[in-house]
Amino acid sequence: MTDKKLLKDYFWVILFAVFIIGSLSLGFEPGLKIYANFSQFFLEMITFLPLMFLLIGIFDVWVPRERIEIHIGHGSGLIGMFWVILLATVQPGPLYGAFPVAYILSKKGASVRNIFIYIGAFSCMGIPMYTFEIGFLGLKFWFLRFIFSLLVFVLIGVIMEKYVGKDFKVMEVE
Amino acid sequence: MAIIIFATILCLLISLVADKQKTLEGIKRGLKMFLNLLPALLTVLFLVSVFLYLIPEKAIMEYLGTGSGFPGVMTAALVGSISLIPGFVAFPMAGILVSRGVSYTVVAVFITSLMMVGIITLPLEIKYFGKRAAIMRNALSFFGAMIVGLMIGLFL
């Protein structure tokens, strides 16, 4: 990482640090209260986060992605649905990361319904993310959100297939 | 949190026994991800600290707490739809908000819409799916996120 990029990434952090140091030395009341909030949250995070990222790193090196990708396109019914959800769950990411994969799925013959289910699962159901959701919001919250969001994705997939038609294709973007 | 600590230690040990080289690679990858996310995390933690200072606890309870009703859910869905926050930052933030009185429903709506609805990335989505499909998918996801939150509210 270059110094310039480091400076850019930490621009706001440095600004906040200056504000906090200023508040501490001048005894600026709002700054002190904000700092009290911040230091409590920061201490909480710094104890757990590195550990959670270790788990994610281990997961990352052990999951065989190639093996799952082979199955995509094989059957567009329930089995196809199972595989797109599995693929999305082991290799999740931000919403916009799902679009290029949706194109590949479409090209390989996945059904319209499964393509849209994939997009939902990709952005919402990643196993690495579960670590964080369980850690910060609890097992029950995670489980409920898992079940209900899964139902919602499938429903969205079904509605989308009706809406755009079975012959819909995702376009290639250079 | 205890489950996660236990899971991490267990996985780390199993992985270490199975393949030392791979485990070291995994540890390296994980720590690198952590360092990459650190600036975004610190920024969000600071913003949340400012937000919680500016908005009194009573107001949070009233507008975003349990029983805040439709306005709270709508606010969460709108903020979630326009924000671009990585999940690794959103969950710690959600944890803080819950500890300060924000309801599970509001947090669930925020997180689900954050992940499924992308107003900022909509132009990109239109390139792949066309205007009609992209707008419809986002609209359905917007309402879907609210349904997920409301259902969770029934149980938590």
pLDDT at A76: 60
Chain A residues in contact with B138 by the CB 8 A cut-off are none
Highest mean pLDDT among A1-10, A99-108, A133-142: A133-142
The CA–CA distances, whole Å, from A54 to A81, A85, B9, B13, B97 equal 30, 24, 9, 12, 25
Distance from CA of B66 to the nearest CA of A (A): 15
Q: What is the pLDDT of residues A95-107, one digit of tens each?
A: 888 898 888 888 8
Q: How far is Cα A107 from Cα A170, in angstroms, rounded to an integer?
A: 8
ipTM confidence: 0.89
Average pLDDT over residues B43-57: 89
Amino acid at B73: V
For testing contact with chain B, the best of A19, A23, A56, A58 (most B CBs within 10 A)? A58
* In the predicted structure, residue A39 carries a pLDDT above the cut 90: yes
Contact A156 B144 (CB under 8 A): yes
**Average model confidence (pLDDT) for chain B?**
91
Contact B152, B108 (CB under 8 A): yes
Q: Give dist(CA B155, CA B6) in Å, integer.
A: 26
Region A88-92: mean pLDDT is: 82
Whether B91 sits inside 8 A of A164 (CB atoms) is no
Tokens of B31: 């720590």
State the Cα torsion B101-B104-B108-B109 to the nearest 10°: -70
C-alpha to C-alpha distance for A117 and A154, rounded to whole angstroms: 6
Predicted model pTM: 0.88
In angstroms, the CA B117 to CA B138 distance is 5
Mean pLDDT within B70-80:
93
Cα Rg for chain B, rounded, in angstroms? Answer: 19
Q: How far is it, in rounded angstroms, from Cα A22 to Cα A158?
A: 56
CB pairs under 8 A between A and B: 209
Rounded distance, CA A165 to CA A159, Å? 10
CB B105 within 8 A of CB A146: no
Q: How far is CA A168 from CA A65, A88, A122, A162, B68, in A?
A: 27, 21, 20, 10, 41
User: What pLDDT score does A71 carry?
Assistant: 59
CB B8 to CB A164 under 8 A?
A: no
Q: Do B1 and A126 touch (CB under 8 A)?
A: no
* Predicted confidence (pLDDT) at residue B4 exceeds the cutoff of 80: yes
**Is residue A46 over pLDDT 90?**
no
